Structure 1
C-alpha cells in the first residue's frame, strides 16, 4: 500500500509554506518567538475550524491526542496560554493578506461566465455578527449591544468573497460601498439598502453596471418603452430618470412565479430584461453564503475577546472557506462544500489519499443467479 500523509497535511498543502513564512516575518511585532511560531498558530486555528473545536483548551487537547500525527506539519508544541496570547497580540493582517493570495489561486480553477455575459458579476451585501458588549467593549453597536459587520462583494462565478471588510456593527453598507474599487466594466447586484443616487451616478460615470430594486417612494420621470418582444414574466421595460441623476436608467418590471411584482432598476441598457431579473435573483446567493459560513465555520463565537483575536479567527475561517471551495472545484464527484467539509471532519487525521477520498466508491457487480 502506498504511503499517505494525513488528510490534514494534504489540505494545508494549498498554502505555500515559503509564502506564509514571508508574510509571518512581515507581520510580526515584539520579540522573536522562542518555542512557537505563526505557522503553529495557523495550524491550530485551522484544526479548530475544520473539526469544530469549541474552545482553546479543546483545540490543545485535540492536538495533544493526535501528537504522533503532527510532526509532518512542521508545528511546534501548542499551549492554551501561548495560543491565546498570540491570537490577542500578533497582527491579524497576516491572515488577511494570506487570504487574498489564496483567493488568486482559487479563482484560477473556479467556473467562469455563469451568466454568459461579458461583465464580471459581483453580489454586494453585509451581515451582522452579534457580540456581548461586556466581553467585547470595542464592538460598539447599540447602547446595550455589541456587534461587528462583515461587508462582502461575492464573485458570482465561483461564489468567492473577492471584496471583504470587517467593521464595527453600526457602519452602514453605503459607507463601505463608496470606498469599494469595482473594476470598470463589471456589474454589481445589490438590494435596496444600497440606495444612493449619487453613488449610482458615480458607478455609471465610471463604466460600472448595476442591478437593484427600486424603492416605492422613488421620484421617477418616465420616457419611452423599449421595443421588442417581452420575455415571460416581464411586463414593463422602460427608460426612466431618477430625480438627482444625470443619466437615464432602465426600469424592468417582472412578475415572478410566486406572483410577486418586482421593479428592477439598472444602467445596463444592453442586457435582455429577463437577464436583469435573473441577475437580481442571483443576489440570494450572498445570503446563502452568509448563512453557510455562520452554520459551518466558527465565526459566531470567539476564542478571544480582543479585536485582533476576533479578526484573526474570522480571516482564518475565510481561508478555510477558500480551501473548501478549491477542493469543491476540483472534486470528481460534484460534492457540495458541506459534503467536502463533512468528509474532512471525519478523516482529518487519517492517512488517506485526498483524491481518493472524494472519488465515489466502486460498486461491484452482484453475482447473477444461474438457473440450471
Structure 2
C-alpha cells in the first residue's frame, strides 16, 4: 500500500526523464544503475524531506511504503555520494523556472525585489571534516536570492560555513531587480560600483559608518510614518569615503529600533524604501520554514555530494509545495494557510478545523490529474 506521494507524482509530471538525462549529461554523469536510478534518488530525497526521515537506513526501511523500490540503505548512500550535486542544483533551477511562470504576485514596488541572505546548517565537526565552522561544529552555508513576489528562491550558492556572505553576494546580483540586503553585504566601494552598473539596491548600513555632507530631501511630513530621516550624503571617513552621494533613509521598525538603509532609488518615497527593506524578513521566514518542516537540520551523508544533494532536494520540495499551494487556492477558492496546506500535502489527514478542508481533500486528486506545465 503506497502512502501519500504528492511531490514525487508532481515531480514526475513536471520534469521528464529526458530532461533529467540532459542535465546529467551536461555535468558528465552517466546513470548505469538498474536497481536504484537517479530519478529514484531524487524521489527518495523529496520523500525524506516531506516525511522527515531520520537517515538513509530509515528511508530504506519505509521507502517501499511510499512507492520506492526495495533497496539496502547502503545503495542509496552510495548513490547520494556518487551523483554530482550540480545535477540537483540544476534541477532546482529548472523547476523554479517552470513553477515561477504562474506564481508571481505584485507587491506594488517600482521593480521586483531580490532579497539576499544565507542560512547555515551545522553538525558535529567529525561529520563534515571538509566543512569546518566554529569550535566543535562543522557546517555548510546556503546563500539564497529570494523573490518575495513569488515566495520562491531565485538562485542558490553553496559554500562551507566559514565563507563570508559579502563576497558570495557578488554572485547573486541582478540588474533587473532591486537588491535587498543586510549589513553583512554592506561595503562602500560596492555601493559606488552598483551606481555605475545601474544595479538598484536597498542595503542596511553598519552602525559605525560616518555620514558626510548630509543634505535633507524634501518630503511631506506624516505623524503616522515610521521614517525618521531621509537625506543624501557621502559615506565613510576621509580615508575611505564613497565617491558617489547616496540616499539614506532612517526608519523605526516594529520593535522601536532605528534602521539605517542606503539606496540609489531616488524616485520612490522613503516609506516605500522602508517597506522594501522590511521584505528582507521574507527570506528569514523561508529559511525557518525549510528547516522546521523539510528535515534540513538532519544531514544523512558526510560527503559534499550527499549533503548538497539532500539540501537542494529540500529546496525542490519547498518549490513544489509552494506552487501546488498557489494553484490549489486558485482552483478551489479555499482559505487555507501555507502551513496547513503543507500538513495536508505531507500526508497528515488530521482535521485542520478549516471549513474549506473537505473541499480541498476532494479536489486535490482531480487537480493533480490536470497538472500540465506545457
TM-score class normalised by the smaller sequence: 0.7 to 0.9
Shift of 1:11: 2.5
Q: Are 2:292 and 1:292 equivalent residues in the alignment? A: no
**Contact preservation (8 Å) 2:24, 2:30:** no
Q: TM-score, normalization: structure 1? A: 0.85
Hey, what's the Cα distance between the residues in 2 that align with 1:29 and 1:6? 27
Shift of 1:307: 1.4
| Counterpart-to-counterpart distance in 2, 1:209 and 1:138 | 36
Compared with structure 1, are the counterparts of its residues 203 and 340 closer, same or farther at alpha carbon in structure 2 (3 Å cutoff)?
Answer: same
2:88 to 95, 100, 103: 95
* Paired position in structure 1 for 2:116: 124
Q: Which residue of 1 aligns with 2:193?
A: 202
1:177 counterpart (166, 169, 174) = 169
**How many aligned positions are there?**
343
Contact 2:132 2:162 in 1 (8 A): yes
Per-residue deviation at 1:117? 2.5
1:85 pairs with one of 61, 64, 78? 78
Partner of 1:139: helix, strand, or coil? coil
Aligned pairs (5 A) from 1:213-228: 213-228=204-219
In the aligned structure 1, how far is the partner of 2:256 from the partner of 2:360?
Answer: 50
Match of 2:364 among 333, 345, 357: 357
Aligned counterparts, 1:1-372, within 5 A? 7=6, 10-12=9-11, 13-27=13-27, 29=29, 32-66=32-66, 70=67, 76-114=69-107, 116-180=108-172, 182-231=173-222, 232-243=225-236, 244-332=241-329, 333-346=334-347, 356-357=363-364
Query: For 1:227, what is the secondary structure of its paired residue?
Result: coil
The alignment's C-alpha RMSD in Å is 2.5
Report the TM-score when normalising by structure 2: 0.84
Question: Distance between the aligned counterparts of 1:264 and 1:7, measured in 2?
Answer: 42
How far is 1:223 from its partner?
3.3
Q: Structure 1 residues 79 and 21, CA, compared in 2 at 3 Å: closer, same or farther?
A: farther
Contact kept, 8 Å, 2:92 with 2:315, in 1: the verdict is: yes
The DSSP-based 3-state class of the residue aligned with 1:313 is helix
Q: Distance in 1 between matches of 2:5 and 2:128?
A: 37
Distance 1:191 1:8, change over 3 A: closer
Asked if the contact 2:36–2:76 (Cα under 8 Å) also holds between the matched residues in 1, the reply is no
- Per-residue CA deviation, residues 199-232 of structure 1 (Å, 9 max, x unaligned), is 1112111111111223232121133211131342
Structure-1 separation of matches of 2:361 and 2:18: 22
Cα distance between partner residues in 2 of 1:107 and 1:334: 22
CA shift for structure 1 position 334: 4.4
Q: Secondary structure at the match of 1:331?
A: helix
Contact 1:178 1:199 in 2 (8 A): no
Cα pair distance change 1:256/1:132, threshold 3 Å:
closer
Distance in 2, matches of 1:31 and 1:220, equals 58
- Which is further off, 272-281 or 42-51? 42-51
Task: Answer with 1 or 2: which has the greater Rg.
Answer: 1
Residue 342 of structure 1: how far off its partner (Å): 1.0
In the aligned structure 2, how far is the partner of 1:144 from the partner of 1:188? 35
CA-CA distance at 1:102 after TM superposition: 0.5
* C-alpha displacement of 1:152: 0.9
**Separation in 2, partners of 1:237, 1:174:** 26
Change (3 A) 1:194 1:134: same
Tell me if structure 2 keeps the 8 A contact 1:121–1:155: yes
Q: Aligned with 2:92: secondary structure?
A: helix
